[in-house]
Amino acid sequence: MAIMRILIIEDDREAASYLVKAFREAGHVADHAADGEDGLAMASDGPYDVLVVDRMLPKKDGLSVI
């Protein structure tokens, strides 16, 4: 199995925590951003394989991030 680097952009801390934990337990690298601006900056700076993006985010909505 290939290890994926995943960025979760989610403002709901409980949901984000659950997703980060699940992906890490599956053997992947999972990072978290709590708003659209931080998520976009992290996505631009790092080579992520997958972005999991909430649509309704503070500062910049999910569709704008994508």
Closest CA relative to residue 55, chosen from 37, 36, 32: 36
**pLDDT at residue 13 in the model:** 97
Rounded to two decimals, the pTM is: 0.93
**pLDDT at residue 43 in the model:** 96
* DSSP label at residue 26: T
**pLDDT at residue 46 in the model:** 83
Q: What is the pLDDT of residues 19-42, one digit of tens each?
A: 999 999 999 999 999 999 999 999
Whether 43 contacts 51, CB under 8 Å: yes
> Mean pLDDT score of the chain, rounded to an integer?
96
- The answer, yes or no, to whether residue 1 has pLDDT greater than 90, is no
- The answer, yes or no, to whether residue 56 has pLDDT greater than 80, is yes
